[in-house]
Amino acid sequence: GPKVLQIPSHQIIDMGQMVTLNCDPVSNHLYFYWYKQILGQQMEFLVNFYNGKVMEKSKLFKDQFSVERPDGSYFTLKIQPTALEDSAVYFCASSSGLGGRDYAEQFFGPGTRLTVL
């Protein structure tokens, strides 16, 4: 089936540094998402992105976070500067459509485990 890839699978950085998480979404999908999962807790929505713009973001999407997809390449989540509480697994997802139909299914990548020291 359709696959979403995420690079790297694990990233360890020092607090205050910048990190970029990369996502290669399903090729014909138009809508992109980032979710955050702290160990042992629920996966929580961060942001979604369409046509070069953020459509919706949650309160977890702090000012230090940004997303982009330059020239149809990777969909990226950048955190600058990082904080200890940013340690989590970040999941990227993509979908071909919206709404209450099966074509709105969000396909998830395997996640990037971010550890901030």
Partner 1 sequence: QQKVQQSPESLIVPEGGMASLNCTFSDRNSQYFWWYRQHSGEGPKALMSIFSNGDKKEGRFTAHLNKASLYVSLHIKDSQPSDSALYFCAVMPNYNVLYFGSGTKLTVEP
**Which residues contact partner 1 (rule: CB under 8 A)?**
4, 6, 31, 33, 35, 41-45, 48, 55-56, 58, 91, 93, 98-100, 102, 104-111
Give the nearer residue to partner 1 in terms of CB position, either 75 or 91: 91
Q: Say if CB 91 and CB 37 are below 8 A apart.
A: yes
CB of 59 to partner 1, least distance (A): 9
Q: Say if CB 90 and CB 109 are below 8 A apart.
A: no
- 82, with CB counted inside 10 A (0-12, 13-18, 19+), is buried
C-alpha distance from residue 45 to each of 36, 37, 53, 59, 89 (Å): 6, 9, 16, 9, 12
Residue recorded with tokens 């309160």: 59
CB of 14 to partner 1, least distance (A): 26
Strand, helix or coil at 91?
strand
Give the nearer residue to partner 1 in terms of CB position, either 48 or 82: 48
Give the nearer residue to partner 1 in terms of CB position, either 55 or 83: 55
CB of 51 to partner 1, least distance (A): 13
Give the nearer residue to partner 1 in terms of CB position, either 82 or 91: 91
